[in-house]
Amino acid sequence: MARLDGTRSLVTGGTSGIGAAIVMRLREEGAAVVFTGRNVQRGEALATRTGGAFVQADVRDPDAVRVSVSTAVDILGGLDALVVNAGILHEAPLSQTSDGAWDAVVETNLVGPYLYAVACLPELRASGGGSITLISSDAGVWPETQIGAYSVSKRALNWLAQMLAMEAGPHGIRVNAICPGDTAPGMATFVEGRVEPRDTSGWLLPPLGRVGTGADVAGAVAFFVSPDGAFCNGSVLLVDGGMRASLHASTVMAS
């Protein structure tokens, strides 16, 4: 019997990158999955490959959030797990970030996850408990000035996870955050538009000597969603190969 057999899951931002890896891992472990995204072509292609169900939705649209949650519950017959992955990046320090870029980052990376969590809490309570996993970033643990708005939004997302953990825990709902480090091929969704996968050969490597993958993050998600993570609530987990530990020590150890 697969670890997640019977687990009814909703994944946001699931059409590419880390999100697609999460959808694939949950399906491999036996979960029923509905996933959202903005791009219909990528969504339908992934649904065909995985057997998941795709629902088009923009995390910045409150009405789309509510409709996608309702649709997912109808498809799945209830809800046991929410994984919030949708995110957007803006490369600029705060002093060079426009009001529009700030709004786009905060609405996507913080307000959207909040809306999804609040919309899903009644469904999770109705199922007798479950889990919410927020995909944050190592930039939410250690400030990164060159992506200032993104870093701030992810720090706030970590705090949101812990707030929700306190509120939802008594109802048997576990809320945790995962903070990936540099993950190939890098984020594709920017305020300015979608960017094709980039060359990662010049990226600084963590002590483990390699760049992270979507599968690394998906494995952590599967743990939090599964019974193995039954006593994890309010956790903020780095999945970065040791990079943050090295930077805190003012050096990156050679592999």
Between the alpha carbon of residue 33 and those of residues 63, 133, 195, 202, 218, the distances in Å are 21, 14, 27, 35, 14
Helices 99-106 and 148-168 sit at what angle, rounded to 10 degrees?
A: 30
Q: Which of 8-17, 143-152, 156-165, 185-194 has the lowest mean pLDDT?
A: 185-194
% of the chain at pLDDT higher than 70: 93
Task: Identify the structural domains of the chain with CATH numbers, from first to last.
Answer: 8-189+213-240 (3.40.50.720)
In this predicted structure, what is the pLDDT of residue 255? 47
Q: In the predicted model, what is the mean pLDDT of the chain?
A: 93
Q: Which amino acid is at 26?
A: L
In this predicted structure, what is the pLDDT of residue 247? 72
Tens digits of per-residue pLDDT, 241-253?
A: 999 888 765 555 5
Catalytic residue among 35, 102, 114, 150: 150
In this predicted structure, what is the pLDDT of residue 15? 94
Identify the bridge partners of residue 10 per DSSP, sorted by sequence position: 34, 82
- CA geometry: angle at 36 spanning 225 and 118, to 5°? 60
Tens digits of per-residue pLDDT, 172-217?
A: 999 999 999 998 877 667 777 666 667 777 788 999 999 999 999 9
Tens digits of per-residue pLDDT, 7-29?
A: 999 999 999 999 999 999 999 99
Encoded tokens for 149: 């708005």
Residue 254 has pLDDT above 80, yes or no: no
CA 132 – CA 233 distance, rounded (Å): 9
116 is catalytic: no
